[in-house]
Chains A and B, each alone.
Chain A
Amino acid sequence: GAVVSQHPSWVICKSGTSVKIECRSLDFQATTMFWYRQFPKQSLMLMATSNEGSKATYEQGVEKDKFLINHASLTLSTLTVTSAHPEDSSFYICSALGTSTFTDTQYFGPGTRLTVL
């Protein structure tokens, strides 16, 4: 149980284009999902908290208009990187908050590696 998927697993795009990343909880409903960014050999940096049916809460320094988050259902949250630039290249990881035994445990997706040319 508690499986989280992400799609795509990797994407290469041209500068100026937008990229959408999906995060799905496959076997449980997740009212709360999180989006992280990880640079090579560094720890995870929380970007935003996504709550189903409401606006995402962004961490300080994260541009809301740059990183659009939508949590339209209990099993799906999307992150759209708008007008991507090379500095947006990174590993993006989502997590979903467990709803059964450990409601405070985050289960992570496999990550999406974004490369902006």
Chain B
Amino acid sequence: AQKVTQAQTEISVVEKEDVTLDCVYETRDTTYYLFWYKQPPSGELVFLIRRNSFDEQNEISGRYSWNFQKSTSSFNFTITASQVVDSAVYFCALIADQTGANNLFFGTGTRLTVIP
């Protein structure tokens, strides 16, 4: 069975602070894909990153960075120098289906509020 846990329900930070959103996943598959999506108040989910299980390299994209650690089954997301526009709900998700159904398993999301 697949499971994604985002233990942080809500986080508030003051603008320019760094913030890390945690994601812990469970799967028995050796091949899987991890994703982060952002859902701003408008509702549309915005794709941020995809990482496959064989690539443990951390990734940085501007103020965003991701730390993938298979040893702890975690795929954490850090926003550096947060901005008000970063306020949104962030979902971590997993695909681990050998049938190729590409079903995304979502975590419950973390609501980030950046205070000006």
Contact = CB atoms under 8 A, between A and B. Distances in A.
B32 to A, nearest CB: 10
B77 interface: no
- Main secondary structure, interface of A, reads strand
Q: Give the interface size class of chain A.
A: 20 to 34
A104 interface: yes
Nearest to B91: A43
B24 to A, nearest CB: 15
Given A105-B50, A111-B43, A43 B37 contact: no
B98 interface: no
Nearest to B32: A104
Nearest to A9: B43
B108 A106 contact: no
Interface string A98-117: 00001011111111010000
Interface stretch (B15-23, B57-65, B66-74, B99-107): B99-107
A49 interface: yes
Contacts of B45: 44, 93, 95, 108
B106 A44 contact: yes
Interface string A28-55: 0000101000000111101001000000
